A and B are shown apart, each in its own frame.
Chain A
């Protein structure tokens, strides 16, 4: 009886623990993972760009950004630049961010480009 109660409690709590902390806000994730290359203002002018062979996308460029579908944006964040035939300098973030967080970033990109 006691053990079945424990199992029940564990079966409720473990999935919660596995899910980890609540997802970080898109703005916070952008500041941590994207700003280093895409810049503090999202204009593609991050601190890392000086020696890059391919310059990062300017997320404030409405014309360029609106040519990408949400599906493509999700794919490039999740699997990296090469997954959409773009630069290897854009890494995959699927090991770092949850699907929900990546969805949040795609929405945040729409805010940055106002498109």
Chain B
């Protein structure tokens, strides 16, 4: 418990949660059987940028590339099968295909690259940034090709077409409101054990008791895995508790998103204390990799339930 308290001292910036509630005018019932609506909750779309929808994609060669990029974004294991080593799609974390503020909107990322990244110590283009998604969130090491798409690959071209298209009209180099996930103030005490209770009550209905998500009989990935061999690996951004708490607070449960800050952090800690594929940057020991690459709010290398987190679980081949 003491360890959690110590972690709790790592204070994150104050919350800047969006006000997503705004009443719309009552609508006239379309038919007599429908009762008048007292209140309709709508998102604050004034925040950031209202991206075009897929319905607006132009019917030309560029539009085709945008469409292919969108297809990859929404179902990565199917449309970028060579480079995807788990069951994760971009759109699992970038809600609505990267269109929505506070849900990792792609339009807020496009104009911020090239950028220096502490993660690899040099200036990254958007293309390299996307390779990073495959390496960590899609665990490309376990994919048929064994690696992220190489620079210039059509997968990366099409993804960039899609992202560029979402970002049209957004100023280059401008930090947009709603970028990434909201920062949620870290509570004094973060508890994976309490998070397990939140998970059982609110999350397991879709993501499963074992965190494996749900694949339908025909292979359709209905609900994404959160841990285990089909989930993001120990190097993905989502393994950081602050990132996961922000995502969860803004988006989960899907269509409801009403967890408290404490619940969001607790369940983030629970999910990120579970086994997942190993950090591909680990060359020597977990302890060495922890020092080198995990100077962040995460549980990598910690002892949990008698096991060292970060050992890694692999797909059965």
- Tell whether A and B belong to one assembly: no
Which A residues are within 8 Å of any B CB, using their own CB? none
Which B residues are within 8 Å of any A CB, using their own CB? none
